Every structure is written in C-alpha cells, then in structure tokens.
Structure 1
Amino acid sequence: MAPTKPSGITQMVTRMRAAANPRATVNPSKAVAENNSLVNKKRKAETVLTSDNKKRSALGDLTNANSKLQDAKKAAKAAKVSSLTNSTNLARPQLSRPSTKALTLNVVKEDVKVPEQIDSEATIYFSPENAKPKRKLPPNVEDFDSECGTDPFQTPQYAQDIFLYFKQRELKFIPRRYMDQQTELTCDMRAVLVDWLVEVQESFELNHETLYSAVRLVDLYLSHTTVNKENLQLVGTTAMLISSKFEERCPPCVDDFLYICDDAYTRRDLIKMEMSVLKAVDFDIGLPLSYSFLRRYARVSKASMETLTLARFILETSLMEYDLINVKDSLMAASALMMAFQMQNSGEWTPTLEYYSSFTKAELRETTCRLHAMLIKLQSKNLKTIRNKYSHKVFYEVAKIALPAEMEF
C-alpha cells in the first residue's frame, strides 16, 4: 500500500506540537527562523534582561519589567547629589571643639559696701523711683499721709489727690429737688424707703458704701423721672441691686431682691428698671460718697472708734432727710464729724482737719445745725431702724447718747 502524502492541515498540527514540546526533534534551521520572528515582536526592554532574572509569581514580585534601567538612572542621579554635598562640605569651615581647659581669670577685688537692711514695704512704696515730691504743708498741719507710709491700703502717695478728685466729681452727682415734679410721692414716702433700704443692707450684710450709693441713685433717678408710688420700692430695690454689683464681691442675685419685695415685682420688671436707672445716670455709678469722706477725716483727726461710729449714725440718719439731698457729700461728712466731736467733747476742728477737708469751722456751722435739728425731729417719728441699729453694743450704743440742746461754735 503506497503511503499517503500528509495534507496541509496535518503538517500545521505537527509543527505546532513541535513548537510546544522543546524536547521534540525539529529542524534547526526552521527553529532559528521562527525564533528570530518572535524576538522582533517582543518588547525592547526584555532583550536587555539576562538569563538569571527570576520569573514573577502571581501577587508576588510586582516590580516593573524595566526596573533595572530605572534603578541605574536613580543611582546616577544620587551620585550627582552626593558629589554636590561633598563639595559643599569642603567649602564649610571646620569648627574646632571647645577647649576643656579651665580659664584663668584675673579678678580684681573691690571694696563693696553692704547696705543696711531696709524695710521691704518702705522700699516698695517709698523708693526714689516712685516717690512723689512732698507737699508744702501750712504751719501746724501734720503730714498724715507720710505717717501711713508703710500701709499700702491707704495709698499715701495718692490719697490726697484721690479725695481732691472726689471733691471735683461730687458736684456732678448732686441731685436737684424733685418732689415738686413727683405727683404721687412725698418726703415721708422717701424716708420710709430709705429706712427699708437700711433694713435690707443689714439683712444681706452689705457694705455701708452700698447703702449710700443706692440712696444716691434713687435721688438721681427721681430727679429725672416721674415715678408712681407703686413703683417706688422697685426703684429702691433696683438701686440696691446696681450698688451691690459695683461695691460687693459677692452681691445678692436678682431672685434675692425679688424675695425681699415679697414677689411684688417680676424679674422682667427689675431688669427693665435697672436699664432705666443706668440710662438716667449715664452709666456713671462711681459716686463720691459721704461715707468715704467721713472715714478719711476720722483717720486724719485720729478720732476714736466710738467717735467715728457716732458720726456714722448721724450721717446715716441724714440719708432719710429729703432737705439735705443737695448738700455736698464732703461737707455732710465734715459736719457729722464736727457734731460728734461736740456731743462727746472728744476733739476740735484742728488746722490739720481744716487742711485735709478744705472746710473751716465756720463753714460747717450751718450744716451742723441742720443735722442737729434733724435728729431732734426724728425722735418723734416711727422710723426706728437706724436708731435700733446703732443702739446695739456692736455700735457702742451711740444712738443712746443724749443730744445737746444746741450746738456751740
């Protein structure tokens, strides 16, 4: 049987099997030709790879095929940078290490005088840097502020200037007589309100400055605004609230003031009245108070605590007197102290007091007589809060001291 000639399909299958099986025997010339055709179709980067490159496994080595070319470029670039760095280091001056050898200093001894021990408080408040030139005092006038040089709370360098400033400002806060324009209020209603404010001050244990400031705010507001008698207590409560915020470290809250009014007013009423009072005084509540002047004059005169308390009783009682609202606070304080001197025979109006208060004894006569008449008149009234307050032993029972028939000058 003659052998059949393989067809074209059979030859193609045979060549494909031979290409897949490298162990198969193939024609060397044909294998070289086929290999050359495949090389031309491969990427150029693969021809550079050597035979020792490992094959990439799945999710294993994910490096780029031409990574070695890129590594070569990076190495060349790094070489340039290192050469620049080396050149920079060569240009930088070499710093030598500091010597550990001990330095030898030629010390010249000088005679230093050690100052004597000085009082620290005197150094702080009367050092040459902050000392003010002393005032030239008139004859027979004691330098009270210099005697208090070690007491920082009395600010001896500025005390006289402060009270001179107060005397200038007190003219701004003198209320005018307002009862003629108040259609529903009377002087007795005002006295009842002040008597109640003293009770509030004692109940809350507030400072005396708070009471004096509140009464002055009431007078200033009533001299600007017409108020009906139903809101008079609201004005007084609001004035005490404002003064507490200004004078106290821990002022009572709004609910406390509403409580003492027996809840006759609401929180909204109190806050609204507060805004109205502050607008009336142009938000200026740094009032010069007669109580502050009295303390200053009592210290200057070196009055006893009992004499000062008696003057405080007279001055606090004057808060209820409507006819005295337009008297200057400094004059009122000096007159109250003058009256206390005469009631106790404990002092005179000395040249020192005349200098620091700027009032002569003759200038105090009229106001002192008015205070005397006020105390006699109030003995017959039912307003006893201030009298009962100063009848206590804590206040030396000064309210029980008998009034003289008349004042002597």
Structure 2
Amino acid sequence: MPDLDNRLARSRTALLDEIEQPPLADVRRRARRIRRRRSTAAGATVLALLAVIGIGARPWQHDSTPDITATRPPAIAPVYQGGGIKITGLSPDPVLSLDGAIADVEFTDPQHGVAAAGCDKECPPLASTADGGVHWQEVAQSPSGAGLTDVIAFPGGRWLLRGTDLYWASADATRWHIVTPPTQTSRASIGKGELPQAEQPAGRVIVVSPDRGPLGPLAHQPGLAVRWVAPAPAGDGAWWVGGLDGAAPAVAVSHDSGRTWKKTTLPEPATATDTVAVSTLGSEVYAVARNEAGEVLGIYHSTDGRGFAATYLPASTGGQETPTRFTGDPVPLLDGRLLLVRPLGTPSSWWVSEDAGATFTPVAGLPAVGSIRRTYAGYVAYRLFDDTWAAFSTDGADWQKLQVY
C-alpha cells in the first residue's frame, strides 16, 4: 500500500502539471480592469443607492439591525465599494439572530456555511446557510454541553465541532452526534477528506477526520515548532504550515499529503516571533510573522513557493506606514495586491499593498472591520461595521454581508 500511495501521489502531481491553467498575468490584467471599472462606477452607484434608500437611512460607516417585516416594500441591497473591493450589504430577507455575538463562521464551499455564537457553557443553536450567507436557519439538533471552541469545515460538506472536552460530527450541518476519537497513532499521510491541524503545545501536525476527530500525528513532521496550519490546501494541492525554527520564523510545505516536507527559515525580526501565517495565490506565497500580541513583525513574499524575500521588516520601512497593528490573515488579491485589515483603523480598516507588502495604503469608502480569517472555501470578515456582523468572500475582493447576527 505505501508504494501504491506514493505512485498515486506522483500521478496526481503529474496530472496537475499537465492541466493548462490560465496564466496568472492574464488573470491579473482582467482583475485590474474590473478594479478600474468599479472605481469609475463607485460614485454613480453611491448616488443611485442614496436616492433609493434615502440619505439618512444608513450611515456609511454604520449598519444597524434591520427592522424587516413581511409587508416591507422591496429594496435593493446597499453596496459599499472602494479600491476594487465590493461589499454587498443586507437584502430585505430576514436576518437570523444567533442569541450571542458571532464567534466563528466557516464555509466548506462557496454556498454552505455554519455560524456559531461565542459561549462558555450552554451554547445557543448553530446557524447554517446553503446559499452563500443570504438565508440562514437555526440548526434544530445543535450540539449542547460544554462551550464550543472551534468549528472545522471539511471538503465534501462535512463538519466537526470541537468543544472543551467533546467532539461532534455532522455530514450536512443539520444533524450532529458526539464522536469519541480513537487512540492516537502515527499517520503516514493526510488521507482523502481529512485535514491537518496544529497540536499545541507540542507544536506538531496531527491528522483530523470529519467523523472520528483527531487520529494522530504525522509520522514525518515539518521540522519546526508548528503554530499555524492552513485550513485548506493551496491551488496545487500543497499543504502549508508556519511556526518557529528555534527562535526564527519558518514555513514548510508538503506536496505529497504530509509524507515529506520542505522547510524554509525566514529572516528573523528584531522582536520575538510567536506565529507565522501563510496565504497563497497561484505560484505566489505570502508569509506573515507576528508576536504574541498579534502585531506584524515581518512580511515575506515568494514568487515560486521556494525562495522567500523579506518585503517588510521594522528596520527596513524607511519611515513608511508600517502594518504592525494589522490583524487576521493576509489576503492575496487577483490583481496582484495584498490585503490586510486594521481594526478600528483610521482613515480605513482596509489596507492594500502593491509592492508585495513593503508599503500599504488605506482603502476609502468601506465599512470598518475587525479581522479577516481564512476558512476552507474563502475568507470571513469579522466585526463588520464595528459590530457583530460578518461577511464572506471567496477571493477577498467580492464580499457578501452575512444575514446572521
């Protein structure tokens, strides 16, 4: 079987290499054209919206819970645009209340998602959507008991919820059952439908199953103290992890489902690194090192996933605007820019870089946001409008405000 697994892995890699993909340069040219069209149309769109919904109906940087009734006349959803980024607001459809602030939203594909409210003991019911976040329904058979700590989205629409000392599994996000993880054993690879996770404080990669929970550590580890694991594979099927090589930030990648790893140690910032997050787009890779407080210490860029260059380190900014207060995961945009967010930022929460993270400029015209986190099928923005709203995007440029609160 190991020989068969290796042959299958090599065959998969060869097949991916043979599939002709659109050149990234062509994709970026189209993305830049879309951004220019949006910038040109933004002013006209705003005036049209104000004429429809009324100038005083919804302040630009604030969004309150809508008072929606069955007799409310039809209206269009507000749209917020700036710098090629678009956020579609609430529609007249009902908004579901979670009975608690949104703590975790995950999407297993662009349509199917689960939202959970923060809780310590008895948790409010979960919410689920099957249309990208426009319509939500309360999950009747939601898990109960100790507080939930993590919602994990798996490929194929499967789900796992991790509590303080319990796990629940679901094949469709509507019916959940408690699962008892097996005795952990060494795993040769990440199996089909399974995900890697970071095990703390051990700093190693373990394999997690959607219907059995954690199975055990990989037999071959990345060679660093793992602090972060990608929630989804890159476009080429590779798995990325980030952490520490001694005291230095480091990343590692596996192209064969965790059987082998290639580690890269990154230039060390002046301040101690706590974790490293990675984002990929095509052949490009970004790594962001942070300290224990979550502040950005360094940004690193690779055009091929092999060699990394430090594009931002505190000593090399030359007085430019520094991204140290930025939070959440980095978001590479199709037009070649890098997006990071600054909570309660002035003049904006949304900042973009056109030089691979060396310098950033704010994007005007967008609502405040607290952080962005990568999920299996895209990105989730939390604390939208400086409140408990959230939004979802598959590419970081087009966002749908989630009709759950």
| TM-score scaled by length of structure 2 | 0.23
TM-score by length of 1: 0.23
Structure with the greater alpha carbon radius of gyration: 1
- The answer to which structure has the higher helix fraction is 1
